[in-house]
Amino acid sequence: QVQLVESGGGLVQPGGSLRLSCAASGFTFSNYRMSWYRQAPGKERELAATISPGGNRSHADSLKGRFTISRDNAKNTVYLQMNSLKPEDTAMYYCYAVSGLNYWGQGTQVTVSS
């Protein structure tokens, strides 16, 4: 059974940091491109960052310098380090895996507020 389980979300003050984790199981993680998407209330889901099976990564232009995606194939886990958080980063953050087939996690809520 395929599972993508996100964790690490929560309430943080502006300027703070969070690290999201997505633990994968049920498929060959190392073969999959992994991504983080986010969806703010009333807005469309958007790509935040993506990382290839070999570790090549890219980030949304608006997030460069603040967010960093990484993966640990030995742990079947992808991470999103988020620094200098802003209120506009408030969203549900979703993990996504793709390699022909594709899978979504259930999401973890990030709220940036004072």
Bridge partners of residue 97, in order along the sequence = 34, 103
Determine the pLDDT at residue 18.
98
- pLDDT bucket at 99, cuts 50 / 70 / 90: very high
pLDDT at 29: 97
Q: In sequence order, which residues have a C-beta less than 8 Å from that of residue 22 and are 6 or more positions away?
A: 4, 5, 6, 7, 34, 36, 77, 78, 79, 80, 95, 105
Band of the pLDDT at 2, cuts 50, 70, 90? very high
Q: What is the pLDDT of residues 12-57, one digit of tens each?
A: 999 999 999 999 999 999 999 999 999 999 999 999 999 999 999 9
Give yes or no for a contact between 38 and 46, defined as CB atoms under 8 angstroms apart.
yes
Quickly tell me which residue has 């958080």 as its tokens: 85
Cα–Cα dist 55/53, whole Å: 6
Q: Which pLDDT score, from 0 to 100, does residue 47 have? A: 98
**Across 98-108, average pLDDT:** 96
